[in-house]
Structure 1
């Protein structure tokens, strides 16, 4: 069946998102995982567990990665969520709405996830994505 045959609207795989109960914005990238890659990762995970090594996807403190299964078209996605700097948003709005460039130092800003934030983001984003087909 062709994805356009579904009644669900199509959603881009790159977008910004703000979940309920969270004042942060996130840059989201949904990368489709092919079935061959799933098998490869599962085998690699299994072998690592046999060798008593912990296997964890490498990410930065300002990034949360999880996996999502799209029911409508039976596709798997790696969802990469990156915290967006509030200073970057302020700079963007000032420059694009008022035409002024403020020099705020983003290097001082420490962005990192806490576990509740990850759980809230993953829950709401999964609910949100379930209403769309990713394209």
Structure 2
């Protein structure tokens, strides 16, 4: 092993050790937003990113989903970040059932959740900042 290889690996491990480890699936609520989101970060390889960038095909997602790509600087990994709007009624039902032990019969079928452009931009901005302070593994 070359001594410079060791010092590079050692500094890389030190940088990673000081960084909080974060799961790739979690719930998140950004600033300036009333909604909560279910977030799932899936690692993607560099050749897949090149394919997406060079492809004219757009992937279609549901109205209640927003997808963007995130580059983790610490280890040069790329992630596809899938954000799904969480129904406020679902949150209310969950809290009532798990804190008070009661099941309310609220109808979630009528809720139509979809992203606005401002909501997407706000979510990407704050979520990218949040992720940059954590290490996805």
Q: TM-score range by the shorter chain?
A: 0.7 to 0.9
Runs of 4 or more above 6 Å deviation: none
Q: Which has the larger radius of gyration?
A: 2
Secondary structure of residue in 2 paired with 1:107:
coil
Where 1:15 maps in the other structure, the secondary structure is strand
The answer for the alignment partner of 1:24 in structure 2 is 35
Structure 1 runs not aligned, ≥5 long: 49-54
- Structure 1 position 58, deviation (Å): 1.1
| 2:100 counterpart of 1:98 | yes
**TM-score of the superposition, structure 2-length normalised?**
0.86
Count of residue correspondences: 126
Secondary structure of 2:33 counterpart:
coil
Which whole-Å deviations, capped at 9, do the CAs of 1:42-71 have from their partners, x for residues lacking one?
A: 44x1xx3xxxxxx32211110100000000
Distance apart, 1:41 and its partner CA = 3.2
What is the aligned counterpart of 1:122 among 112, 121, 124?
Answer: 124
Between the aligned partners of 1:59 and 1:99, the Cα distance in structure 2 is 35
Which is worse superposed, 107-116 or 32-41?
A: 32-41
Counterpart selection for 1:36 from 30, 47, 52: 47
Q: Which runs of 5+ in 2 are unaligned?
A: 1-8
CA separation in 2, counterparts of 1:132 and 1:101? Answer: 36
Q: Give the equivalent residue in structure 2 for 1:71.
A: 73
Is 1:60 the counterpart of 2:71? The answer is no
Give the Cα separation in 1 of the matches to 2:39 and 2:29.
Answer: 10
TM score, norm. by length of structure 1: 0.87
